[in-house]
Amino acid sequence: MKPSGLRAVCLAVPLIGFLSLASAQQIPIKTIPLAQGTQFEIFPSNNIGMGAVSIALPDSIGDPYVNPATTSRLRASFLFTSPTVYTLSDKAGGGQSLPFSMLVRRNAWFGGLGFALQEVEPARAPQDFRGGVVDVAPPGGGGGFPGPVSTIPGPNFRPHGNKYAFGMIGRAFRESNLSVGASAQWTGLHALDGVEVLYNGSRGLTQTGDVLDLRVGALKEWPGERGMRSLEGILFHNRFAATHEVLFADVFWDPNQQVFREKARVDTNYNQTNTWGAQLEYRMPLAPQGWQIGWLATVNQATQPKNPRYDVAGAAVIPRDPGHSSAFNLGIGVSKVLGPSRFGLDVIYQPIRSYTWADAPVPIATLSGDTIAAGGKTLDNRFAFSNALLRLGWGHDVPLEGSKNVVGLQFGLMLRSIHYDLHQTDYVQELQRSMQTGWLEWTPTWGISLRAAELEIRYQGRLTQGGGRPGANFAFGGVRATDLSSGTLLAAPPQPLSLVAVRPTTHQLTLSVPLH
């Protein structure tokens, strides 16, 4: 991306959807195609190998972690463990998780508990992903200097750990076919995948924080001749808060020793996002046997009172901008279950509106000579997203001859199209700009399972393409930058920001044991 439009885009980097959940309740907002691992997808699911289809095809194992009321669909209690490993190509990081969870059903009551330990590895090739001092000229000229004398240690690539805890309780009212439930999940964070590459030239990063996700759900079902109709509703609140202690090395000239030296500097950045959301999902059978159709509607309202001062390689330093967003999911899905075969298709449209701004830390003079008071807005960024999501999956069960065991196969594909318009007002330079950009991410998925009477083992994997990390080989373009006040085309500086193409791959092995 050319810097003429790049600074406006990078001002919105805090909107990147770090907490992109497997479910559709929390809608991710991304302004650059930053590749990230599936760090938060740790609990088991039946449908990940089928492209994670969900609107018209229930997920008996995964749905309770999304809507606690759907636990009432279980006919028994289960104990799960689902070790998960994800890696990013080109030594761009990775992670592994070891979760344990239990879903319990007893008469009209049901509940669940879960916990997980996770280790996240930072990028192992810093020369590819962030810049630093490479060649410095001493005072008075005379050519390049090989580099500063430094006593500051290099980047720390030691993995850091996160902790997860989950709890849920609910009750089914059989007379009215109604179930209600509530759940809470807490995450203790010391590492978010990909954050280190957003601080250009840093020598180290210490992350601390937590995430609290609270949900209340309901499920209403209506039996019929053609099958079961159902209506699901969810209300949720997600609070994300993190602190980033970023170590930098400032270069200065030591006149006594006639050498350049480095002095350590630590910047403290805060990242806070509060999201409120609701979702309705309706599912009903169609006339042909085995077919179902479903509709989905989701709304998210998010505020970002604190955003980090990110500095992506090749871009201007980013102010600490607050902001708020409104995001929506409007989807339709169909599924077909015929004997041992299953098919599902989801199509979701995601209109999103986001607004971020920069505040003046001190009085600032404008181009025309006016003064913006401290605390006044120096920059407005208004985003209009028009995203789309397609999920497609197929599964088939094959009974093993001579036994009651069943082998299941799954294949799927997820396509995510991201497109947005940005209108920016710079009150200091007294300019308005317009920009359009977008990209496509695609994710093939697969899975295989072995189901026996007392045990089920399931492996599921996925590979995402279309994203990258700051580097030199991945062009991010499709930009139009225009000075709206004069109608002239702004000249773009020649130095582009680019991303190295990086592919996250995830492997999950789930062991499910019924409890009698």
Give residue 186's identity as a one-letter amino acid code. Answer: W
Mean pLDDT of 412-423: 93
Reading the block at residue 436, the tokens are: 């359009």
How many angstroms separate the CA atoms of 439 and 419, rounded? 7
Q: What confidence tens digit (pLDDT) does each residue in 364-398 have?
A: 998 888 898 988 888 888 899 999 999 999 999 99
Mean pLDDT of 502-514: 93
- Model pTM score: 0.84
The more confidently predicted of residues 405 and 23 is 405
How many angstroms separate the CA atoms of 73 and 61, rounded? 10
Mean pLDDT of 469-485: 44
3-state secondary structure 331-395: EEEEEEEECCEEEEEEEEEEEEEEEEEEECCCCEECCCCCEECCCCEEEEEEEEEEEEEEEEEEE
Domain count, the chain: 1
How many angstroms separate the CA atoms of 106 and 76, rounded? 8
Q: Is 333 left (phi over 0), alpha (psi -120 to 50) or beta?
A: beta
Looking at residue 458, its pLDDT comes to 95
Asked whether residue 145 carries a pLDDT value surpassing 50, the answer given is: no
- List all residues 6 or more positions away from 503 whose beta carbon is below 8 Å from its beta carbon: 35, 88, 89, 463, 464, 465, 467
The more confidently predicted of residues 92 and 296 is 296
Looking at residue 233, its pLDDT comes to 96
Average the pLDDT over each of 6-10, 168-172, 249-253, 418-422 and give the range with the smallest value: 6-10
Looking at residue 386, its pLDDT comes to 95
Average per-residue pLDDT for the chain: 82
Asked whether residue 417 carries a pLDDT value surpassing 50, the answer given is: yes
Most confident of 3-7, 231-235, 501-505: 231-235
Let me know: does 272 contact 211? Beta carbons within 8 Å.
no
Reading the block at residue 402, the tokens are: 């001579």
How many angstroms separate the CA atoms of 60 and 41, rounded? 16
Let me know: does 152 contact 203? Beta carbons within 8 Å.
yes
Mean pLDDT of 21-34: 72
Q: SS3 for 195?
A: helix
The helix (H) or strand (E) run that includes residue 484 is none
Mean pLDDT of 462-487: 56
Looking at residue 497, its pLDDT comes to 52
Looking at residue 225, its pLDDT comes to 76
What's the CA angle centered on 182, arms 29 and 335, to 5 degrees? 60
Mean pLDDT of 225-238: 91
Mean pLDDT of 492-504: 62
Asked whether residue 119 carries a pLDDT value surpassing 90, the answer given is: yes
Q: What is the largest CA-CA distance in the chain?
A: 91
Mean pLDDT of 218-237: 91
Asked whether residue 17 carries a pLDDT value surpassing 90, the answer given is: no
Let me know: does 199 contact 225? Beta carbons within 8 Å.
no
Looking at residue 84, its pLDDT comes to 95
pLDDT band at 282 (very low <50, low <70, confident <90, very high): very high
pLDDT band at 132 (very low <50, low <70, confident <90, very high): very low
Asked whether residue 315 carries a pLDDT value surpassing 90, the answer given is: no
Report which DSSP code applies to 68. Answer: G
Let me know: does 38 contact 18? Beta carbons within 8 Å.
no
pLDDT band at 295 (very low <50, low <70, confident <90, very high): very high
How many angstroms separate the CA atoms of 54 and 76, rounded? 22
Asked whether residue 164 carries a pLDDT value surpassing 90, the answer given is: yes
pLDDT band at 143 (very low <50, low <70, confident <90, very high): very low
Asked whether residue 188 carries a pLDDT value surpassing 60, the answer given is: yes
Mean pLDDT of 322-350: 93
pLDDT band at 248 (very low <50, low <70, confident <90, very high): confident
How many angstroms separate the CA atoms of 129 and 35, rounded? 12
Which domain does 41 fall in, by range? 3-515
How many angstroms separate the CA atoms of 73 and 232, rounded? 12
CATH of the domain at 150: 2.40.160
Q: What confidence tens digit (pLDDT) does each residue in 268-279 have?
A: 888 888 999 999
Mean pLDDT of 453-458: 90
Looking at residue 339, its pLDDT comes to 87
Instruction: Give the closest residue to 189 by CA, choosing from 177, 206, 176, 174.
Output: 206
Looking at residue 66, its pLDDT comes to 92
